[in-house]
Structure 1
Amino acid sequence: MTSQHQSLDTLQDIKRMMERSSRFISLSGWSGVSAGICALIGAWFANNTLENFLGGDIEQYSKTPIIISRIQVFRELIIIAICTFVAAFLSAFFFTWIRSRKQKTPLWDRTVQRLMWNTILPLGIGGIVVWRCLELGYFEMIAPGCLIFYGLALVNASKYTLGEIRYLGYGQLILGVINLYSLGLGLYLWAIGFGVLHIVYGLVMWWKYERISQ
């Protein structure tokens, strides 16, 4: 029995080593939580901006004629989106960096490069599509476009990091498709996808992978 246990332990060690070499497993659950909180804060500011413009009727935004005031509001929303993205990225990077140091794993190697490429490619194409929607005035398509392309990026990147991240991607895709048929709910579905789902995902990942080691 002792010999069998030793063999099993050896196999487990080999499995962990192979996993470390092929997947980036230092993603922190707190990264998801912090990114989700930043997204909810950003959604709150965006909601206030839209309410001030529409007098409280956010669902009428997609029906509002394309006039100068609407373009000005969208400039404010773009600034909010940029600030939200930067804050979410920096906070997520910070917690991932901390976990990477604890695990003594590199924060930049070939595996991380593959992960970044498989994430950036769908996001880059999505960014071009969203920007084109802005140019054409299809403002109501921005929220579903963000959700769908972000979901595709997560599913694509799941091959090089924790496999559970694909379920977060599936959630984004489902919300994005729903948003395509409920354009007036864009901000709410965006807040659920980038905010609530990230927080839930982060807490689940922390409970599953980090709670015991702390």
Structure 2
Amino acid sequence: MNHQQDQLETLHEIRNIMDRSSRFISLSGLSGIAAGVSALIGAAVVKWYLVSNNIAYTENAAIALTREAVMFILAVAGLVFILALCSATYFTARNARKSNHRVWDSKTERMLVNLFIPLAAGGIFCGVLIYHELLYLVAPVMLIFYGCALLNASKYTLSDIRYLGILEIALGLVASFFVGYGLLAWTLGFGVLHIVYGTLVYFKYER
């Protein structure tokens, strides 16, 4: 009986070693929290701008928004993305150093390639929507493509990110029906869900 138990433990350890060798496991939960906080701040700034200019976020937003308003919102979204990327890089690099793992290797490359292909496609599609003045669909599409990117990258990093991707896709699909709540959906998806996910990952793997 003890011999069989030892064999099972050995097999389990071998499986863990193989899993670590094929996945990027240094992704930090703190990066998710930082990205979520950045998104909440960005959403608050956009909300303040819309209220200050008497713009209601509805399916008619394409008519109400001026070119200046669109550029402002895009600038805020770009800044949120940069802050999230910088925080992810910093906290993940710090986590890798603490665990004596390499920050950049073939696993990192595979994860980033699988992450950024759907992100790039989603970004281009959002540009098409803006070009055709279908602005009320931009937030749902961002959530859907971002969820697809996470789902695609989950094969090469922590499996927990898969569930975040599924939730992002589901939220994006719901928001595509209730287009007047796009900003709220964006806030929940990129803000609240990131903070919840980051907190769970941090306490599961880093404490």
TM over 0.5: yes
Q: 1:4 to 1:64 in 2, by over 3 A?
A: closer
Is 1:75 the equivalent of 2:93?
Answer: no
Contact (CA 8 Å) 2:61, 2:136: kept in 1 or not? no
Establish whether residue 41 from structure 1 lines up as the match of residue 41 from structure 2: yes
Partner of 2:57: 59
Match of 1:17 in 2: 17
- Alignment gaps of 5+ in structure 1: none
Could you report, residue by residue, the CA deviation over 1:72-109 in whole angstroms, capped at 9, with x for unpaired residues? 10101111111111011111111111111111111111
What is the RMSD of the two structures over their aligned residues, measured on CA atoms? 1.7
> Could you tell me the percent identity over the aligned residues?
42
Checking the alignment, whether the CA contact within 8 Å between 2:62 and 2:135 is kept in structure 1 is no
Structure-2 separation of matches of 1:170 and 1:2: 41
Corresponding residue number in structure 1 for 2:174: 178
Cα shift at 1:15: 1.9
Match of 1:194 among 185, 190, 194: 190
How many residues get paired?
A: 207
On the 8 A contact 2:141/2:172 being kept in 1, the answer is yes
**Which residue identity does 2:20 align to in structure 1?**
R
Of 91, 95, 102, the residue aligned with 2:98 is 102
Pick aligned residue for 2:127 from 125, 131, 134: 131
The structural deviation recorded for 1:52 is 1.2
Instruction: Work out the CA distance in 2 between the residues paired with 1:82 and 1:65.
Output: 20
1:30 partnered with 2:30: yes
Shift of 1:66: 3.5
- Counterpart-to-counterpart distance in 1, 2:78 and 2:172: 20
**Could you say if the C-alpha distance between residues 65 and 205 of structure 1 is closer, same or farther in structure 2, counting changes exceeding 3 Å?**
closer
SS at 1:132 equivalent: helix
Q: TM-score, normalized by length of structure 2? A: 0.93
Give the whole-Å Cα distance in 2 for the aligned partners of 1:94 and 1:64.
37
TM-score normalised according to structure 1 size? 0.90
Candidates 108, 112, 127, aligned match of 2:108: 112
**Structure 2, unaligned runs of 5 or more:** none
Give runs of ≥4 in structure 1 deviating > 3 Å. 1-10, 64-67
Q: 2:136 matched to which residue of 1?
A: 140
Q: Return the alpha-carbon distance in structure 2 between the equivalents of residues 66 and 87 of structure 1.
A: 30
In the alignment, the residues of structure 2 paired with residue 83 and residue 59 of structure 1 have an alpha-carbon distance, to the nearest angstrom, of 21
Q: 1:145 to 1:106 in 2, by over 3 A?
A: same
Structure 1 residue 6: Cα displacement:
4.8
Q: CA deviation at 1:2?
A: 6.3
Does 1:90 pair with 2:86?
Answer: yes
Q: Which amino acid in the other structure matches residue 174 of structure 2?
A: I
Distance 1:179 1:28, change over 3 A: same
Q: Distance in 2 between matches of 1:129 and 1:7?
A: 51
CA apart distance, 1:5: 5.6
- Between the aligned partners of 1:146 and 1:96, the Cα distance in structure 2 is 24
